[in-house]
Amino acid sequence: MEYYVHFKPISHLCLHFLLVLFSCMGAGLSSNIVKHTCLEKEREALLSFKQDLADPSGRLASWMGHACCQWQGISCNNRTGHVEKIDLRSTYHSFLVGKINPSLIHLKHLSYLDLSQNDFQGIQLPKFIGQLKSLRYLNLSCTSYAGEIPPSLANLSNLHYLDLSNPFYDCYSKNMNWLSHLRSLKYLNLGSVNLSSTGVGWLHDVIMLPSLLELHLFYCHIDKSLFRLSPLMINFTSLLVLDMSSNFLHSSFPRWLLNLISLKSLEHLNLRGMGLQGQIPQVIGHLCKLKMLNLGGNDFNGDLQEFLSGFSNCRDNGRMVSELQHLDLHFNSFSGSFPESLRHLPSLKTLHLSSNHMNGSINPQILGQLSQLVDLDLSKNSWEGVLTESHFMNLTRLETFRIGTNRPALSSSLIFNVTDDWLPPFKLRTVDIQNCRMGPAFPVWLQSQTQLVDVLLDNTGISGRIPVDWLLKISSHVESLLLPNNDIGGKLPFQFKFLKITVMDLRHNQFEGTLQQLLPTNVPLLRELYLSDNHLKGTIPPSICQVQYMTILSLRNNQFSGEFPQEWSMWRYLRVVDVGNNNLSGNIPSSVGIPRSLGVLKMNDNNFGGEIPFAMQNCSNLTGIDLGGNKLTGKLPLWLGSKLSKLQILRLRFNYLSGNIPQQLCNLKELHILDLGHNDLSGTIPKCLSNLTSLASGLTSWHLYGDYDEQTTVIMKGGEHTYSSDHTLMWVMSIDLSSNNLKGEIPEEICALIRLVSLNLSRNQLVGKIPSKFRNLTGLETLDLSFNHLLGQIPQSFSSLTLLSHLNLSYNNLSGRIPSGPQLQTLDSSSYVGNPSLCGFPVLTKCEGDDTSTLQTFLGGDSQDEDENEKLGFYISMVLGFILSFWGVCGTLLIKKSWRYAYFQFFDNLKDKIAVAITLKVARLQRRL
Ligand SMILES: *[C@@H]1O[C@H](CO)[C@@H](O)[C@H](O)[C@H]1NC(C)=O
Ligand SMILES: *[C@@H]1O[C@H](CO)[C@@H](O)[C@H](O)[C@H]1NC(C)=O
Ligand SMILES: *[C@@H]1O[C@H](CO)[C@@H](O)[C@H](O)[C@H]1NC(C)=O
Ligand SMILES: *[C@@H]1O[C@H](CO)[C@@H](O)[C@H](O)[C@H]1NC(C)=O
Ligand SMILES: *[C@@H]1O[C@H](CO)[C@@H](O)[C@H](O)[C@H]1NC(C)=O
Ligand SMILES: *[C@@H]1O[C@H](CO)[C@@H](O)[C@H](O)[C@H]1NC(C)=O
């Protein structure tokens, strides 16, 4: 049985970039228009400035005529008439593109310059900015500038506010001397500016700037050496806000920081995603002014109880005075039970403890003290026990509630048991309950929650139908409705108008009926639809193509029949179509290539006929194609190799494809699963297969498609195994060309693919010898060369294939002594039958000159253990692979924790998702090993 992990829906990384973009876009334009005609020289300067900017949305349309003080974004001094303020902060739809014209230096009285979120297309910030000496406010954040920050900024000694944060662009500073001249700075933001080569000591000087209140240095590549070499003695600071997140120290809590913290002024401390380890120093609890503390995404461990009890110092006449409102400790390694010392934090509004190793039951008395809570995230821990009304009695302000265990066990140890007449004191907007028993009936209390925007009930044991009244009440505003892995039945709820819904996930339930009610007008914003593993039938209605924002459509493992709709051209953002394992027929729509954005196409195990549609070659972003188990005819298209360069999985097994295996396939540098078995392919195995870089290096990249869980079946180890993107798919390295009419010899070049785990060339017409270089394939677990015409000896070097657990060389013309070796010793004679000239263990024929008495007995395995052993073997080889090589992002993530944090931090909004997917993967791996 397959389980899924679900998170708040976010459709794709790209979306994240948009989110970042949005987050860069705060308030709009505010311009104080002063009625005054402006000075001619300044007017000309502004016009020159305008000339270097393309203005697609007409933001500068008012920049004409003489009254420049009334132009949009310009403010002048109402006595002198000098331009003092330029505020051209852009909004999402209306940015300016180009560069900054030097004419600005004629605005001698300019004190406020905000050009944030416009697009300077990678230009370097001009030096002349240093001449704008009147500037008090300078905001160039998110302007896509690049290169070095001009040290001439040192001249801006009046600056109070400086924001140069610049995500996604390669900008840096080599030397921070310029900063120490800005003695008036109150606010400094250098987020995402690379400060890795700035030398030592400056951080101290910056923190000691006499007026500095806010310091934002997130993702600045500041590393440990910087801190180690500067013994910071900080005896004064006015700092209120410190954000050092996403600088990867990979160390215990730095001393200088403790030093800083002892000054107690801090209100806002963000150390998220810094790779910090060990215990959190209790002294943090002495920061009684602290309102926000974010230590998420680190590797802190120990019991929270002790750290939190530090806050008990914050007392005034016996009264609790800690002002902490936001505490984020998610994704660490905290253990212990729900900490009793939380009662020292009566002002908490946000508490995130998700993705830790906390256990035990949650004490209602402690939770009851936190009556200000608005956002409570207790998901992905090892909680036990029963949640009842008493847990929630005081949580009248709760809007976001997440809880659950990280183990998708069938009978979860966490139970939600409230009486049917319980009316919760809160009105939730987000509910997220995973791996926690709530069913079997649909919880009555949930039906009182009618303001819900995001609903996730995953593996909660709910069966029966979704209450119609409740659906009707939330349908107008719900944005995500995720109820996967339950036993919910009845018809799909498409009779309602879900005007805001973007993700609907009902996979792995008992839904019946058809999709006929899925009208685009009822789900106008739907992006992701997961209905896999239900009992749906009927045809897929053409109207589904009119759901115009659809990016992911997963209908696999149902009983849909008929043809797949042709109107793909109406989809513009499509990334995934998975209709595997249904009864669909007809031709694969020729319009498949119209949304070029397609990333995964799975139409396997249906009755599709015809040829692989030509238009698919337009989908240059395809990473996975699975059309196996159909009745496709024709040749393997050459463009598969020449146009689809990102392909990682190509599975065309069980069709009627003919012709040669084209050389072009060798261009697929990222391919790691190639399955062309059971077709009518002829010709020879191309020698150029050695060009399949992924299989040679073990390097695969990682594509995320929302919550889509890609599954691919691979024949390995003598059986079918389904690997999913939630587990191990990206690590499967396999070539299967079995059951075709391939001729000629096995090209020695194939032995360059040293990361291969499975190679199946059986049931062809292959001749010649087995190349001795097979010894290079040290990761090989499955090798099937049976039913060919191979000759000669089995290379003795086979003994070095220490992971080989499934070897089939049967029915060839092999001869001579069977090689021996610790691993080969465990295989039985069935690996070799049909080769009458083979001799030696384990076949009965003795080789000439062998001692007749040493007939070894064969050790039979307990068949029940076999499956486990297979899995174990796979994981072992996986681990070997991952020690020996990089696996793109994911391999790196697993190995280098610091990178992992970087990654999580950077993709902030995806954090839980990726983080937890990884934690789960690692946890699973550890359990299995
Ligand atoms: C001039 O500006 C100042 C500050 O912006 C304001 O307080 C004052 O009222 C203005 N005077 C006139 C005449 O608009
Ligand atoms: C901080 O320490 C430095 C050097 O130890 C000293 O010169 C300075 O006066 C101290 N400042 C304060 C505010 O104590
Ligand atoms: C709820 O809050 C009140 C007052 O703050 C407190 O006395 C009571 O113990 C709390 N209830 C629970 C169940 O913790
Ligand atoms: C739920 O609570 C009811 C009444 O308090 C009790 O009878 C029942 O056994 C509880 N169920 C579980 C699973 O704890
Ligand atoms: C392919 O993916 C890249 C990167 O994600 C994207 O920029 C590009 O627009 C995509 N191409 C198509 C045709 O969708
Ligand atoms: C294989 O790679 C080699 C070296 O990179 C290149 O010269 C050759 O053209 C490639 N062969 C094919 C068929 O792509």
Q: Is the CB of 388 under 6 A from ligand 4?
A: no
**Of the listed ranges 41-50, 375-384, 547-556, 708-717, the one predicted with least confidence:** 708-717
Chain centroid to Cα 531, Å, comes to: 21
Would you say residue 830 lies in a domain?
Answer: no
**Distance from the alpha carbon of residue 691 to the mean position of ligand 6, in angstroms:** 6
Given a cut of 90, whether residue 623 has pLDDT beyond it is yes
Given the CA of residue 367, which atom of ligand 3 is nearest to it?
A: 14
DSSP per-residue string spanning 224-288: HHHHHT-----------EEE-TT----SB--HHHHHHHTT---SEEE-TTS--EEPPPGGGGG-T
Question: Tokens in use for 726?
Answer: 């939630």
Would you say residue 922 lies in a domain?
Answer: yes
Alpha carbons within 13 A on the beta-carbon side of 354: 24
Distance CA 291, CA 299 (A): 22
3-state helix, strand, coil in the chain (%, to 5): 25, 20, 55
- At 726 the pLDDT is 66
Residue found under tokens 């606010």: 187
- Are 298 and 333 in contact by the 8 Å Cβ rule? The answer is no
Would you say residue 311 lies in a domain?
Answer: no
Mean pLDDT across 508-536 = 95
Would you say residue 890 lies in a domain?
Answer: yes
- Are 436 and 465 in contact by the 8 Å Cβ rule? The answer is no
Using most ligand atoms within 8 A of CB, pick from 18, 576, 597 the residue to mutate for ligand 5.
Answer: 597
Average pLDDT, the chain: 85
Angle between helices 888-895 and 863-884 (to 10 degrees): 90
- Are 431 and 404 in contact by the 8 Å Cβ rule? The answer is no
Pinpoint the alpha helices (H) of 12-168: 13-24, 40-51
Distance CA 137, CA 121 (A): 23
Task: Give 332-366 pLDDT, tens digit per residue.
Answer: 999 999 999 999 999 999 999 999 999 999 999 99
Which is nearest to 242 in space by CA: 192, 194, 202, 206? 206
Given the CA of residue 437, which atom of ligand 4 is nearest to it?
A: 13
Q: Is the CB of 390 under 6 A from ligand 3?
A: yes
851 — pLDDT class (breaks 50, 70, 90): low
Task: Give 50-66 pLDDT, tens digit per residue.
Answer: 999 999 989 999 999 88
Given the CA of residue 386, which atom of ligand 4 is nearest to it?
A: 14
- Are 543 and 571 in contact by the 8 Å Cβ rule? The answer is no
Using most ligand atoms within 8 A of CB, pick from 235, 236, 260 the residue to mutate for ligand 2.
Answer: 235
Mean pLDDT across 744-756 = 94
CB atoms within 10 A of CB 185: 24
Would you say residue 659 lies in a domain?
Answer: no
Amino acid letter for position 413: S
**Distance from the alpha carbon of residue 379 to the mean position of ligand 4, in angstroms:** 23
Residues 6+ apart with CB under 8 A from 855: none
CB atoms within 10 A of CB 795: 17
Given a cut of 70, whether residue 479 has pLDDT beyond it is yes
- At 24 the pLDDT is 41
Would you say residue 907 lies in a domain?
Answer: yes
Mean pLDDT across 408-432 = 88
Which ligand gives the minimal distance to the CA of 573?
5
Given a cut of 50, whether residue 869 has pLDDT beyond it is no
Q: Is the pTM of this model over 0.85?
A: no
- At 37 the pLDDT is 67
Question: Tokens in use for 169?
Answer: 């662009």
Would you say residue 887 lies in a domain?
Answer: yes
Where b means 16+ CB within 10 Å and e means fewer, 257-293 reads beebbeeebbbbbbbbbbbbbeebbeebbebbebbbb
Which is nearest to 791 in space by CA: 807, 777, 771, 775? 771
Residues 6+ apart with CB under 8 A from 14: none
Given a cut of 90, whether residue 233 has pLDDT beyond it is no
Amino acid letter for position 707: D
Given a cut of 80, whether residue 612 has pLDDT beyond it is yes
Given a cut of 50, whether residue 870 has pLDDT beyond it is no
Given a cut of 90, whether residue 678 has pLDDT beyond it is yes
Mean pLDDT across 847-876 = 44
Given a cut of 60, whether residue 914 has pLDDT beyond it is no
Instruction: Determine what percent of the chain is predicted with pLDDT higher than 90.
Output: 65
Given a cut of 60, whether residue 155 has pLDDT beyond it is yes
Given the CA of residue 236, which atom of ligand 2 is nearest to it?
A: 13
329 — pLDDT class (breaks 50, 70, 90): very high
Would you say residue 893 lies in a domain?
Answer: yes
Domain count for the chain: 1
- At 893 the pLDDT is 32
Higher pLDDT pick, 433 / 889 = 433
Given a cut of 70, whether residue 150 has pLDDT beyond it is yes
Higher pLDDT pick, 635 / 11 = 635
Domain that holds residue 885: 864-928
Q: Which residues line ligand 2 (CB under 6 A)?
A: 235-236
Given a cut of 90, whether residue 194 has pLDDT beyond it is yes
Mean pLDDT across 81-109 = 91
- At 916 the pLDDT is 31
**Distance from the alpha carbon of residue 78 to the mean position of ligand 1, in angstroms:** 6
Which ligand gives the minimal distance to the CA of 597?
5
Mean pLDDT across 835-840 = 93
- At 855 the pLDDT is 38
